[in-house]
A and B are shown apart, each in its own frame.
Chain A
Amino acid sequence: MKSAVIVFPGINRERDMARALKLISGRDPVMTWHADTALPHGTDLVVIPGGFSYGDYLRCGAIAARAPIMDAVRSFVARGGLVLGVCNGFQILCEAGLLPGVLMRNARLKFIASDVYLRVERSDTPFTRGYNAGQVIKVPVAHGEGNYTADAQTLARLEGEGRVLYRYVAPNGSLDPAWNVNGAVNAIAGIVSERGNVLGMMPHPENHVEAAMGCTDGRGLFAGLVEALDRAA
């Protein structure tokens, strides 16, 4: 796996992400500056990490979505390349039009940093093959605007095409409004693009990859990507 982590000004989880990628794939990602116009040669996974790009003073991700590097990311996506956007990365992908829908202010109007439970809805995608369908994983969230929503038609398509990969659930795997921390529609935590090669998700699997930090439930996502890319190579 040869990954590139895009760094916009104000992004702050790029080190967490780089550490997780190194730990699981064995290779350091290439940190790629927002002002660059091309991805590193041979990139097979692009990761847009979390943070507050440009301070998130405008709509979250709106400025980063228009940065020079994003043209290269768009062409990469068009060629079928795999892109993972986490937290601010998810917001940027939505703003860039690479994923449908928007992320609104959390329903309880406060920033929320806590562990959440996600149900993996299917295991036959590069982003979920490290898990079993229906498996419940524990990962942290840390965001003020993660309340996913989309128009009814888009939602119907997302659900109908099985493009919701991760959903906020209770620890036993059942849907429960009390565990839907940000009030996202249909408890959506992560979705993929129509072609299935772009994943956006609010929670941070990269922070649950070491037993020393109390939980390794996030490993499966990266391990699955490594497997998918190795198979393709």
Chain B
Amino acid sequence: MFYRVVVMIRRNEPPITPELVAEHGLKPDEYERIVKLIGRVPSFTELGIFSAMWNEHCSYKSSKVHLRTLPTQAPWVIQGPGENAGVINIGDGLAVVFKMESHNHPSYIEPYQGAATGVGGILRDVFTMGARPIACLDALSFGAPDHPRTRHLVFGVVAGIGGYGNSFGVPTVGGQLRFHSRYDGNCLVNAMAVGLAEADRIFYAKATGVGMPIVYLGSKTGRDGIHGASMASAEFDDDSDAKRPTVQVGDPFSEKLLLEACLEIMAKDCVIAIQDMGAAGLTCSAVEMGAKGDLGVELDLDTVPCRETGMSAYEMMLSESQERMLMVLRPEKEAEAEAIFRKWGLDFAVIGRTTPTRRFVVRHGGDVMVDLPIKELGDEAPVYQRPFVETPKRPAIAAASVRAPMPVPDALEKLIGSPDLCAKRWVWEQYDHVILGNTVQRPGGDAAVVRVLDGPKALALTADVTPRYCEADPFEGGKQAVAEAWRNITVVGGKPLAITDNLNFGNPERPEIMGQLVGCIRGIGEACRVLEFPVVSGNVSLYNETNGRAILPTPTVGAVGLLDDFTRSATLAFKAADEAILLIGETTGWLGQSLYLRDLCARDDGAPPPVALETEKRNGDFVRILIHENIATAAHDISDGGLLVALAEMAMASGVGAQLAPAPGKIPAHAFWFGEDQGRYLVTVHSGAVDAILARAAIAGVPVRRIGTTSGETLAIADERPVLVEALSERFEAWLPGYMAGTLSDP
């Protein structure tokens, strides 16, 4: 055909050279694959398109074979991985749509806009499917507090998340914040959005019908974010700041308008298919709509609304300008849809048609700039079985071999004011967490609880992972991330339903990093299978390293659980004096990989605590029943910092203290109070209820022991110096604001 010839000699496009191929992040053998696939040398624009579709971020080429092993099914799963977000059924004709995604590289280069557009992108993924966003969570990892860039990044990222979510109008209800030197050159920003939709009105990317109008909606296209997805697929070096122009700029106002306009045209039944323009913008969204529908797509770039003049086809196809959508509309509803978009002041343009050819054709200025097989663009991306070495197992540390560096009360005071355990109020007070009027449990607890419509149903939401466990033993660490998220939901009274996983790792071309990825995915899969907690969406972020130094393996798990009646839930605060404190689960005094060992003994060796999944399930189910029967007056899971830190958190949340029995003789006191054995909870109950609970626990095979009684204003362990709860709270609240204000003498 005529235009096949034109393809190779287009105006103003540079010739394809090996250097140009390398600049596009494509390996020589990947380029050969392209030439073989299309039977000729690609044009410059086509090369850009392949680079966008075949990079790690969009193609999952290193992780795909392993991700396939994850369990994704359950009777309540409506849509698993592969769409914009996962969808689960929560009954009453309602569905929850959710996903977590990283925006790590942009956030390190330009923290405010990087984080803001991360939030914007994940919100769009959720409302693209027809859901109104009802909550956001954010898991953040930063470098060591004394690293010169850390404070600047925390400031910018937190302000960016708030700046976008607050303006868009979604409550940010939870998340994580950690500091570790391994994130010095590469912070992590993992944003999760949760939306609510009608279960029979979910919208997908798959186009149907030939000759249907393809409509461009939202903001105009500019030169921002070109090659953002490629940046997310490469390591950083000292010159990374030069990549600042590849970071997009967020406009939450436009996104809010886009949300309202999209939901309005969806309600009016105008939409056949919809896809947001995220990574690799127009390219990725158009190809996905066509490929999923077994159709071709033809675009005319002369009709694309542009923010600036003179943009080339290459720039338009790779722009990652934010707040844009692509849709296939029912032709008879086009005018109605256009009127709705105009009402909201948004751009609306028909920029192409679906065709029967299964080819992706792009015209610009009268020339055919792109003519590629649409299915192969996505499906034929290389898939790698990358070589990996398993992380060597580390020996378990015997508690008795660790000398206590200080008395137990001193250790508690130190830990509670440490960067990882201190209050994160400074962060979440910059996020509007009560807007929409459904936040039953606010940030600061184990999981946020958000009412569904007018109730009584509610969602329990959490994001969790313990990277130091993953580093020491990826398989156990992967299991633990899932188990911890499951526990967080359980302990507020929720039934855990499904997860989204956000896998952050270093360079997968290094076998030891690949070993971490493979191990963590295996662990996640194992835990999800046993806990019936399927993975319904996710995101992989690789190449998180700077100058060859990788981050800690950080597979963040975002999870959703359901409460049938939010009045039957629990919070962690002690409720009154003279209540019995029960410890549920086995305590061995496991100090390996504990915060106690790391922060107070300066040791990061040893195996992390193992997760016994069957036990996990038994213990958690027992706790959930105590909550549902309104027997538990308070409940908290035991995680970072161990038993005494968990008790302190319950005390500080209420101001009520506790009298505690001494550590049992067979375990060293510091290991008993600060060990991080898994599958454990604390609950308080009326003293009179204890015997009946112990009897039920014995039948259920759940270890339960009474360790103390709530009372007074101090945490008082027998034979140890009592610690004033108020003084603990002061330390707990002081570190982060002090650090951010630069007033700490020793960060």
By a beta-carbon cutoff of 8 Å, the part of chain A in contact with chain B is 9-10, 12-13, 15-16, 19-20, 51-52, 54-57, 110-114, 140, 142, 144, 204, 206-207, 210, 212-214
Do A12 and B253 form a contact, CB below 8 Å, given A207-B434, A213-B440?
no
Shortest Cβ distance from B431 into A: residue? A113
Taken residue by residue from 250 to 263, chain B's Cβ proximity to chain A (1 for < 8 Å, 0 otherwise) reads as 01111011000000
8 contacts between A and B (CB under 8 A): A9-B344, A12-B167, A12-B169, A12-B435, A16-B435, A142-B432, A144-B166, A212-B440
Give min CB distance, B146 to chain A, whole Å. Answer: 23
Distance in angstroms between the alpha carbons of A9 and B342 in the assembled complex: 12
Distance in angstroms between the alpha carbons of A9 and B169 in the assembled complex: 12
B436 contacts across to A, CB distance below 8 A: 15-16
User: Among B252, B344, B451, B567, which residue has its beta carbon within 8 angstroms of that of A55?
Assistant: B252
Distance in angstroms between the alpha carbons of A15 and B132 in the assembled complex: 12
Shortest Cβ distance from B455 into A: residue? A212
Establish whether residues B430 and A52, one from each chain, have CB atoms under 8 Å apart when the complex forms: no
Chain B, 283-311, CB within 8 A of any chain A CB: none
Distance in angstroms between the alpha carbons of A19 and B251 in the assembled complex: 28
B252 contacts across to A, CB distance below 8 A: 52, 55
A113 contacts across to B, CB distance below 8 A: 166, 428-434
User: Among A10, A51, A111, which residue has its beta carbon within 8 angstroms of that of B430?
Assistant: A111
Tell yes or no: B742 within 8 A of A by CB: no
Chain B, 165-219, CB within 8 A of any chain A CB: 166-169
Establish whether residues B253 and A9, one from each chain, have CB atoms under 8 Å apart when the complex forms: yes
Using A13-B169, A52-B253, A57-B253 as known contacts, list a sample of 9 further A-B pairs with CB atoms less than 8 Å apart, ordered by residue number in A. Answer: A12-B167, A12-B169, A13-B435, A51-B169, A52-B252, A110-B430, A111-B431, A113-B431, A207-B434
Distance in angstroms between the alpha carbons of A9 and B251 in the assembled complex: 13
Distance in angstroms between the alpha carbons of A30 and B159 in the assembled complex: 34
Tell yes or no: B566 within 8 A of A by CB: yes
Establish whether residues B166 and A55, one from each chain, have CB atoms under 8 Å apart when the complex forms: no
User: Among B167, B428, B451, B455, which residue has its beta carbon within 8 angstroms of that of A56?
Assistant: B167
Taken residue by residue from 232 to 261, chain B's Cβ proximity to chain A (1 for < 8 Å, 0 otherwise) reads as 000000000000000000011110110000
Establish whether residues B344 and A213, one from each chain, have CB atoms under 8 Å apart when the complex forms: no
Shortest Cβ distance from B567 into A: residue? A212
Give min CB distance, B524 to chain A, whole Å. Answer: 33
Shortest Cβ distance from A208 into B: residue? B434
A210 contacts across to B, CB distance below 8 A: 437
Distance in angstroms between the alpha carbons of A94 and B168 in the assembled complex: 23
Do A55 and B253 form a contact, CB below 8 Å, given A10-B167, A16-B435, A212-B567?
yes
Distance in angstroms between the alpha carbons of A176 and B432 in the assembled complex: 24
Shortest Cβ distance from B168 into A: residue? A12
A12 contacts across to B, CB distance below 8 A: 167-169, 256, 435
A112 contacts across to B, CB distance below 8 A: 429-430
Distance in angstroms between the alpha carbons of A19 and B434 in the assembled complex: 14
Taken residue by residue from 405 to 449, chain B's Cβ proximity to chain A (1 for < 8 Å, 0 otherwise) reads as 000000000000000000000001111111111111000000000
B433 contacts across to A, CB distance below 8 A: 113
Establish whether residues A111 and B440, one from each chain, have CB atoms under 8 Å apart when the complex forms: no
Establish whether residues A9 and B429, one from each chain, have CB atoms under 8 Å apart when the complex forms: no
Tell yes or no: B345 within 8 A of A by CB: yes
Establish whether residues A212 and B566, one from each chain, have CB atoms under 8 Å apart when the complex forms: yes
Tell yes or no: B162 within 8 A of A by CB: yes
Shortest Cβ distance from B456 into A: residue? A212
Shortest Cβ distance from B439 into A: residue? A213
Give min CB distance, B468 to chain A, whole Å. Answer: 30
B344 contacts across to A, CB distance below 8 A: 9
Shortest Cβ distance from A109 into B: residue? B159
Q: Which 8 A-B pairs have the closest CB atoms?
A: A12-B169, A55-B253, A142-B432, A52-B167, A16-B437, A113-B432, A111-B430, A10-B253
Which of B167, B251, B428, B438 has most A Cβ within 10 Å?
Answer: B167
Shortest Cβ distance from B251 into A: residue? A55
Distance in angstroms between the alpha carbons of A113 and B167 in the assembled complex: 13
Give min CB distance, A58 to chain B, whole Å. Answer: 11
Distance in angstroms between the alpha carbons of A16 and B169 in the assembled complex: 11
Chain B, 584-609, CB within 8 A of any chain A CB: none
Distance in angstroms between the alpha carbons of A16 and B438 in the assembled complex: 9
Do A111 and B434 form a contact, CB below 8 Å, given A212-B455, A213-B439?
no
User: Among A10, A140, A214, which residue has its beta carbon within 8 angstroms of that of B257?
Assistant: A10
Give min CB distance, B441 to chain A, whole Å. Answer: 9
B437 contacts across to A, CB distance below 8 A: 15-16, 19-20, 206-207, 210, 213
A52 contacts across to B, CB distance below 8 A: 166-167, 169, 252-253, 256
Distance in angstroms between the alpha carbons of A13 and B439 in the assembled complex: 14
B451 contacts across to A, CB distance below 8 A: 212
Distance in angstroms between the alpha carbons of A107 and B376 in the assembled complex: 56
Distance in angstroms between the alpha carbons of A32 and B437 in the assembled complex: 21
Distance in angstroms between the alpha carbons of A97 and B432 in the assembled complex: 28
Distance in angstroms between the alpha carbons of A40 and B702 in the assembled complex: 62
Chain B, 538-586, CB within 8 A of any chain A CB: 566-567
Do A142 and B169 form a contact, CB below 8 Å, given A54-B253, A213-B440?
no
Distance in angstroms between the alpha carbons of A16 and B566 in the assembled complex: 19
Give min CB distance, B158 to chain A, whole Å. Answer: 9
A214 contacts across to B, CB distance below 8 A: 440
Distance in angstroms between the alpha carbons of A10 and B260 in the assembled complex: 10
Taken residue by residue from 706 to 742, chain B's Cβ proximity to chain A (1 for < 8 Å, 0 otherwise) reads as 0000000000000000000000000000000000000
Shortest Cβ distance from B442 into A: residue? A214
Distance in angstroms between the alpha carbons of A10 and B566 in the assembled complex: 31
Establish whether residues A142 and B253, one from each chain, have CB atoms under 8 Å apart when the complex forms: no
Distance in angstroms between the alpha carbons of A214 and B573 in the assembled complex: 14
Distance in angstroms between the alpha carbons of A4 and B432 in the assembled complex: 25
A19 contacts across to B, CB distance below 8 A: 437
Distance in angstroms between the alpha carbons of A195 and B430 in the assembled complex: 36
Distance in angstroms between the alpha carbons of A114 and B162 in the assembled complex: 13
Shortest Cβ distance from A206 into B: residue? B437
Distance in angstroms between the alpha carbons of A207 and B168 in the assembled complex: 17
User: Among B257, B345, B434, which residue has its beta carbon within 8 angstroms of that of A142?
Assistant: B434
Give min CB distance, B737 to chain A, whole Å. Answer: 10
Give min CB distance, B54 to chain A, whole Å. Answer: 36
B435 contacts across to A, CB distance below 8 A: 12-13, 16, 142, 207
B251 contacts across to A, CB distance below 8 A: 55
B440 contacts across to A, CB distance below 8 A: 212-214
Which of B257, B430, B431 has most A Cβ within 10 Å?
Answer: B430
Give min CB distance, B428 to chain A, whole Å. Answer: 8
B455 contacts across to A, CB distance below 8 A: 212
Give min CB distance, A41 to chain B, whole Å. Answer: 22
Distance in angstroms between the alpha carbons of A8 and B455 in the assembled complex: 28
Do A111 and B166 form a contact, CB below 8 Å, given A9-B344, A19-B437, A52-B252?
yes
Taken residue by residue from 76 to 111, chain B's Cβ proximity to chain A (1 for < 8 Å, 0 otherwise) reads as 000000000000000000000000000000000000
A20 contacts across to B, CB distance below 8 A: 437
Distance in angstroms between the alpha carbons of A213 and B173 in the assembled complex: 14
Give min CB distance, B438 to chain A, whole Å. Answer: 8
Distance in angstroms between the alpha carbons of A57 and B251 in the assembled complex: 10
Shortest Cβ distance from B346 into A: residue? A9
Establish whether residues A111 and B162, one from each chain, have CB atoms under 8 Å apart when the complex forms: yes
Distance in angstroms between the alpha carbons of A144 and B77 in the assembled complex: 40
Give min CB distance, A34 to chain B, whole Å. Answer: 11
Distance in angstroms between the alpha carbons of A109 and B252 in the assembled complex: 20
A54 contacts across to B, CB distance below 8 A: 253
Shortest Cβ distance from A56 into B: residue? B167
Chain B, 129-157, CB within 8 A of any chain A CB: none
Give min CB distance, A162 to chain B, whole Å. Answer: 30
Distance in angstroms between the alpha carbons of A140 and B442 in the assembled complex: 12
Do A55 and B566 form a contact, CB below 8 Å, given A10-B257, A113-B433?
no
Give min CB distance, A87 to chain B, whole Å. Answer: 10
Establish whether residues A114 and B429, one from each chain, have CB atoms under 8 Å apart when the complex forms: yes
Establish whether residues A10 and B432, one from each chain, have CB atoms under 8 Å apart when the complex forms: no
B567 contacts across to A, CB distance below 8 A: 212
A204 contacts across to B, CB distance below 8 A: 434
Distance in angstroms between the alpha carbons of A15 and B169 in the assembled complex: 11
B429 contacts across to A, CB distance below 8 A: 112-114
Shortest Cβ distance from A19 into B: residue? B437
